[in-house]
């Protein structure tokens, strides 16, 4: 079980993300200095207890209409070899020291746990309370859609979001989309093999629900 420390991070998550988001192909804003606010998210535990996993939702108010982005993050005590493309930055944690923070779509620990979540083998956790499940996060997958051994073998970032290629035993099962620009009411394509839906807060204080990950046939 991940322990959430009440401490400081320097630089903070929003500061790191404000500098990183404009470099992403799926960033829709025109500003190179997004105005970010935290809007929600959840966590998944790493059974090995080595990697922090957090799905963060931020709202960018620099656009004409606020935009909600999903950024899955992993927190590591050392650099992840081969994941330079996914490095968001480093930060000094008040308890744990230097943390290397990655876009989790490029981190095999997060992608494995996301698939486990869809398979019903991982439980979503509250973003800021240790040991508290988050029942507002709802994973669904069709029977047999993700057999044992299913894993993400490639990641592709593009203007429409991030696509994880999922295989099992050398057979392609489909594409798992990490939704980057969140849309209230979007729950995935009618023919989707699976999805994860979650809630976030709109700028007016109301709650929205939509898909944060969608599994499709490849």
Q: What integer best gives the mean pLDDT of the chain?
A: 92
Domain extents in the chain? 9-216
Residue 97: predicted pLDDT: 72
Residue 191: predicted pLDDT: 82
Q: What is the pLDDT of residues 175-203, one digit of tens each?
A: 999 999 999 998 878 889 999 999 999 99
DSSP secondary structure string for all residues of the chain: --------EES-HHHHHHHHGGGSTT---S-SS--EEEEEEEE---TTS-SEEEEEEEEE-SSSS-EEEEEEEEEESS--TT-GGGEEEEEEETTTEEEEEEEGGG-HHHHHHHHHHHTT-S--B-SSSTT-B-TT-EEEE-TTSS-TT-EEEEEEEETTEEEEEEEETTEEEEEEEE--B--TT----TT-SEEEEEEEE-TTS-EEEEEEEEEE--
Residue 6: predicted pLDDT: 61
Q: What is the pLDDT of residues 59-111, one digit of tens each?
A: 999 988 899 999 999 999 999 998 999 999 999 876 677 999 999 999 999 99
């Amino acid at each position: 079980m991940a322990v959430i420390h009440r401490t400081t991070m320097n630089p903070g998550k929003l500061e790191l993300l404000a500098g990183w988001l404009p470099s992403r192909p799926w960033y829709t804003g025109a500003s190179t200095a997004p105005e970010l606010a935290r809007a929600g998210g959840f966590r998944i535990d790493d059974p090995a207890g080595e990697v922090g996993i957090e799905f963060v939702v931020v709202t960018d108010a620099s656009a004409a209409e606020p935009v909600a982005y999903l950024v899955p993050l992993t927190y590591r005590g050392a650099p992840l070899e081969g994941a330079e493309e996914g490095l968001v930055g480093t930060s000094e944690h008040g308890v744990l020291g230097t943390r290397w923070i990655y876009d989790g779509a490029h981190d095999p620990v997060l992608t494995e746990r996301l698939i486990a979540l869809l398979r019903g083998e991982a439980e979503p956790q509250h973003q800021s309370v240790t040991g508290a499940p988050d029942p507002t996060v709802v994973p669904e997958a069709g029977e047999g859609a993700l057999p044992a051994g299913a894993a993400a073998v490639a990641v592709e970032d593009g203007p429409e979001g991030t696509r994880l290629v999922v295989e099992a035993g050398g057979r392609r099962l489909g594409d798992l989309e990490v939704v980057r620009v969140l849309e209230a009411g979007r729950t995935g394509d009618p023919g989707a093999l699976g999805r994860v839906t979650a809630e976030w807060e709109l700028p007016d204080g109301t709650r929205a629900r939509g898909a944060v990950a969608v599994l499709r046939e490849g």
